[in-house]
Structure 1
Amino acid sequence: MTEKLPVVFVPGLGCTARLFEAQLAVLGDRPAIVADHTRHADIAAIAEDALGAAPERFALVGLSMGGYVALEIIRRAPERVARLALLDTTAYPDTEEGRARRRTLIAAAERGKLGSIHAATFARYVEPNRVADAALEAVVRDMLFATGAPAFVRQMTAILNRADYEPLLERIACPTLVLVGENDAPTPPDHARRMATAIPGARLAVLPTTGHLSTLENPDGVNAELTPFLG
């Protein structure tokens, strides 16, 4: 019997393993690791930690900030990544407006204002019809508070200072899935389309009525794309 390829998941900003709960549930006996992205204020250091904890060869799935870490892993150790799934993320630098927004959130987190951060960001993260979804909001809020303010500051600092990964895209040689919610505001579908065009042989999937947190908002849609991709 062919041994199943292990999967390394990398969550997004202020998110925990709960972000991938529905995906982990359908993996069966396939080995899986959720990377720790809370300890460093630098994407490269997070990627090095993830590589140190990962099997020798693996499939890699990153959402949002997790996608930045995944791209850094590809840059550092492309021979170890057999398959790459980039979910609701971007390879491109922030706009000045985006950088200013991040600095504002860092300042709020440094004052311990996680509740105000959640209030300011939740509606932007999810599809408009899910803004009033109390159960979804509770999960997102709980993940943020489980992350905690100091780790959130480190994560946001790492994102703010991340590399421009656009030049890397054309060099990605492994099978790649680029997935995005059609109503993803932070990393919109046009970014995903550009990435999928630049990565040789990449598959693009745009999920309808889905926002930035696709694995929570539309777990069935994500699993329908991700499960066969992982093989």
Structure 2
Amino acid sequence: MSLPQIVLIPGLLNDADLWRDQITGLADIARPRVADITRGSSLGALAEMVLATSEDRFALAGFSLGGIVAQEILRRAPERVTHLALLDTTMLPDTPERAAEREELIAQASKPGRFHGFGKKLAQSYLAPENRDNADMINRVRAMTQRLGPDVFIRQTRIARPDSRASLTGITCPTLVLCGNHDQLTPPELHRSMASLIPSADLVVLEHSGHLTPLEEPENVTDHLKRLLQRDPVRK
């Protein structure tokens, strides 16, 4: 009997290297595949691309923007998803202030010159205090942002973030909601609210992580994904 597929969706300006440790760590229990969300210009288009390149039934894990895409996939094809993990993400639309911040970031990324997708200031807000001077982590994230570049950043930043609270209550598959205790972008309280809306959700807050849990605590993220996959799926 072949192992089940788990589709891993990266976040904004992330590629497969975000999930490097989970790809290796999950190989004994599942067949990981990293989805590409760098090309579509709407949430629906991204969800349809993931669905078109996935097996009929699969487990799904989405990080940050990838978690927003994962929620859209559950709205469109809930019968295809056996297990769901939402990592460091949100179910809320942008506030006017956050929308204005995105427009400013787009304006900066549109300027000529070298694109710096992950500078020291961003590292301060993305990483836990104990990781903010970790050169290996910073360089790993910076390499992803530079590989993908400003065009992908602008396209992904412009994708509308909907209010998904009503649809979360209809998720029936085993679900993991996970974030870092020091996540400033999508803080733990947001994830507690998210988990409370999903009947089948387990909530995990990792003590030594900020927003980038798959990089900051890779073994813990892998272990919790394994526990999720070991839960019995809801039969469709």
TM-score w.r.t. length of structure 2: 0.92
Deviation of the 1:99 alpha carbon: 1.5
Deviation of the 1:28 alpha carbon: 2.0
User: What does 1:12-23 correspond to in 2, within 5 Å?
Assistant: 12-23=11-22
Name the aligned partner's letter for residue 87 of structure 1. Answer: L
Gaps of 5+ in 2: 231-236
Gaps of 5+ in 1: none
Deviation of the 1:55 alpha carbon: 0.5
Q: CA RMSD in A?
A: 1.4
Runs of 4+ in structure 1 over 3 Å off: 116-120
SS of equivalent to 2:116: helix
Q: Please give the per-residue CA displacement for 1:149-195, whole angstroms capped at 9, x wherever unaligned.
A: 1011111111xx12211111101111100001000010000110001
Deviation of the 1:223 alpha carbon: 1.5
User: Counterpart in 1 of 2:155?
Assistant: 154
Deviates more, 1:28-37 or 1:74-83: 28-37
Contact 1:109 1:117 in 2 (8 A): no
Q: Please give the per-residue CA displacement for 1:132-155, whole angstroms capped at 9, x wherever unaligned.
A: 111110001001001111011111
Name the aligned partner's letter for residue 130 of structure 2. Answer: N
User: What does 1:190-229 correspond to in 2, within 5 Å?
Assistant: 190-229=189-228
Deviation of the 1:114 alpha carbon: 2.5
Deviates more, 1:144-153 or 1:89-98: 89-98
Contact 2:102 2:157 in 1 (8 A): yes
Contact 1:177 1:202 in 2 (8 A): yes
Deviation of the 1:11 alpha carbon: 0.2
Q: Percent identity?
A: 43
Q: In proportion to residue count, which structure has more helix?
A: 1
Deviation of the 1:118 alpha carbon: 3.2
Kindly indicate whether residue 142 of structure 2 is the aligned counterpart of residue 141 of structure 1: yes
User: Counterpart in 2 of 1:180?
Assistant: 179
Distance 1:116 1:170 in 2: 35
User: Counterpart in 1 of 2:233?
Assistant: none
Name the aligned partner's letter for residue 201 of structure 1. Answer: S
Q: Please give the per-residue CA displacement for 1:204-231, whole angstroms capped at 9, x wherever unaligned.
A: 0010021000000011111121112112
User: Counterpart in 1 of 2:98?
Assistant: 98
